[in-house]
Structure 1
Amino acid sequence: MKPVRSLARVLLSGIFVVSGARNLQNAGRLVPAAKPVTDRVTPLLQNLSPRIPTDTESLVRINAATQLVGGLMLATGKFTRPAALVLAGTLVPTTAAGHPFWNSEDAASRNNNQIHFLKNLGLVGGLLLAAADTEGKPGLRWRTGHRIGHSRRSMQRAVRTARREAKIAVRSAATARRLPG
């Protein structure tokens, strides 16, 4: 199953590597489309930290760099689960800014944007599957529950052993008192 996972990750990451590199080089072309989304996000970013850039072109570049790095991480198999989650997060503003089919007056433009919007939703679905994929290994939730159960059983064994040893000690002491000395 490993080759299938590897191939799927490479295929899924390709769009992010290519578009991330392209948009990083020429972020200015995306500014007009991204401005309505960044204008809504800017107050939230300013509340988080005054050091975060809030101009539209910088935010487009940050998103593009994140997609490029996340796509490379997903393709190479390094930190694939976090990379998939981050890439899914970058698709939200990208999709809202790049494919607002609900604003299109022209039927052909609306149809084209709706197709790309749905394609991006499909990518988000694939990324969520990649983020949930444990490669056949137990997930964190299972391992935590298993470890807690193991610890609980170990503690119960220790308590039973301590009780048994205490009973033996009491019997030994009682026997020792009865013996003439």
Structure 2
Amino acid sequence: MTPVRSLARAMLSGIFVVSGARNFANPGRLAPTAKPVTDRVTPLLERVHPQLPTDTETLIRANSAVQFGAGLMLATGRFTRPAALVLAGTLIPVTLAGHPFWRNDDPIAKNNNQIHFLKNLGLFGGLLLAAADTEGKPGLRWRAGHRIGHSRRSVRRAVRTARREARIAVRSASAARRLPG
């Protein structure tokens, strides 16, 4: 991994590690803000698995733990692409719950939330770039196409070889029949 990638990933993940740890330790301060979003997610969670906890503070803690863990993975260069995708996924409810600028009547609060909303949108874009980054190595699509092409060439070679060997065997058999004997 290049030093620029390492530094960029550490910088990008910093907010997730710090806020993940902070919000895990104190989810109560975010509960009133997060409640409208968790109330909308609760029916989905209950349909997926009725035993899943759906209270707001537990969901905040779960999201925070995921952000902390995925942030550490991104920062340390472990499973960076999946970690970036997971972080992008956790950023969506956080942004919708925490910065709904469209609901603010106060111009100062609206401006502040709009700035934070756009900041999170920028983080989301950076995470998508990190998720797409193959570090200069071929991606899965190229590898699969290359492997398929290689397999096709191998099959063609095997068929040509089998035909050639069959022709040689036919010639040998017909020559053997012509020999007096």
Q: Distance in 1 between matches of 2:160 and 2:167?
A: 11
Report the counterpart of residue 31 of structure 1 in structure 2.
31
Report the counterpart of residue 126 of structure 1 in structure 2.
126
Q: Distance in 2 between matches of 1:125 and 1:8?
A: 13
Q: Which runs of 4+ in 1 moved over 4 A?
A: none
Q: Distance in 2 between matches of 1:130 and 1:178?
A: 72
Report the counterpart of residue 10 of structure 2 in structure 1.
10
- The TM-score with structure 2 as length reference comes to 0.98
3-state SS, counterpart of residue 7 of structure 2? helix
Q: Distance in 2 between matches of 1:51 and 1:135?
A: 40
Query: What is the Cα deviation at residue 51 of structure 1?
Result: 2.5
- The TM-score with structure 1 as length reference comes to 0.98
5+ residue gaps, structure 1: none
Q: What letter matches 1:36 in structure 2? A: P
Report the counterpart of residue 93 of structure 1 in structure 2.
93
Q: Distance in 2 between matches of 1:3 and 1:41?
A: 40
5+ residue gaps, structure 2: none
Q: Distance in 2 between matches of 1:158 and 1:170?
A: 18
Q: What letter matches 1:19 in structure 2? A: S
Report the counterpart of residue 177 of structure 1 in structure 2.
177
Q: Distance in 2 between matches of 1:51 and 1:160?
A: 60
Moved more, 21-30 or 43-52: 43-52
Aligned length: 181
Report the counterpart of residue 44 of structure 1 in structure 2.
44
Report the counterpart of residue 159 of structure 2 in structure 1.
159
Q: Distance in 2 between matches of 1:153 and 1:43?
A: 52
Equivalences for residues 132-151 of structure 1 within 5 A: 132-151=132-151
